[in-house]
Structure 1
Amino acid sequence: MKKSFYSTNELRGLGLKAFGDNVCISRNVSIYNAEAISIGNHVRVDDFCVLSGGKGITIGSYIQISPFSIIYGSSGVVLEDYSGLSPHCTIFSESDDFSGNSMIHPFFPAEFKPGYIKGQVTLRKYVQVGVGSAVLPGIELGEGVAIGAHSLVTKACDPWGIYAGIPAKRIKERSRKLIELERGFRSQLKAEE
């Protein structure tokens, strides 16, 4: 009987650019352009997620990508350590222009898509994106940012803020206790070695 997550040998067979220790990827995840995807240590990618490598997806360590989340890495996506996606999140590093001034869908050459938007998306350390949220191309979420449920991130978010809404706006400060907790966690790991 097969387990819910790929074994280490099966992960090697996926053709990922790189992956570390304790990587759990559900058998129900769709992976495209695997050779452009790098994954750190202690990462979990849950059921029905899509990882579309494109230019590249770099996933750090201690990260969970929750069910039904999608990462479109066409122009690059970076998730730094201790960041994560709640269920039903979408990260777009490229997007069509729906204004009517540009053709839509992947079938058309660039000259027919003058409004096409692209740019790397970066989630800095400790960032958490809340359930049902979307992050648009070219956005950087600063260290410690939390995005509230069902938000649309259209602009960069400054560090240690909680952002929510459509479009997402800073609504309050986020505690930096995470930094202290990480230090304690690392100290405990060293003591166990």
Structure 2
Amino acid sequence: HISGHPFIAPTARIYAPWLLTVGDRSCIATRSEIYNLGPVIIKERVTIAQYAYICNGSHDLSDNKLPLVVGDVVIDNDVFIGARAIILPGLHLCRYSVVGAGAVLTQNTTDFGIYAGNPARFIKERKIYGE
């Protein structure tokens, strides 16, 4: 489901478009990938930078049959996901949070939280100027 006027680069890869929601003025940049075996909800004014990878499917490694595990990835308004960042299944990225370039996010974020590293950790709070 697409609403408003988002930008989705022609080179972006979306595994299951019917499981994707993208809000107004959000951007899915060049060569980014959304592997959405389960729902991925991208709200408004979200930036997903080049080569970022949203992974919403994995396997239960504690079961030798390796059953598929999916969740819902929810990316709230005004989130920024840096280049080559990886977002793991079932996470909630809260308003105005930032995932740094190359980070591997394994936990939910907090409003205005900046996360970086592998695994990504909280670094500091994001400040918004001019509002």
Question: Quick check: 1:138 aligned with 2:101?
Answer: no
Instruction: Note the residue ranges of structure 1 that are not aligned, 5 or more in a row.
Output: 1-37, 103-111, 181-193
Aligned to 1:87: 50
Shift of 1:100: 8.2
Q: Match for 2:44: what amino acid?
A: D
Shift of 1:63: 1.0
- Bigger share in helix: 1
With over 3 angstroms needed to count, the CA separation of the structure-2 counterparts of 1:135 and 1:160, relative to structure 1, is: same
RMSD of the alignment, in Å?
1.8
Determine whether 1:166 maps to 2:118: yes
| 2:119 is the alignment partner of 1:119 | no
Distance 1:155 1:82 in 2: 22
What is the correspondence of 1:1-193 to structure 2 with a 5 Å cutoff? 38-53=1-16, 56-97=19-60, 102=64, 112-114=65-67, 116-177=68-129, 180=131
- Tell me the TM-score normalized by structure 2: 0.90
Flag the 1:51–1:146 CA change in 2: closer, same or farther, 3 A. same
State how far apart, in whole Å, the 1-side matches of 2:30 and 2:47 are. Answer: 12
Aligned equivalents of 1:121, 1:39: Cα separation in 2: 16
TM-score of the aligned structures, taking structure 1 as reference length: 0.63
Give, in angstroms, the shift of residue 118 of structure 1.
1.4
Bigger Rg, structure 1 or 2: 1
Q: Distance in 2 between matches of 1:138 and 1:63?
A: 20
Match of 1:190 in 2: none
Contact 1:54/1:72 (8 A) holds in 2? no
Q: Which runs of 5+ in 2 are unaligned?
A: none
Structure 1 segments, 4+ long, off by >6 Å, are: none
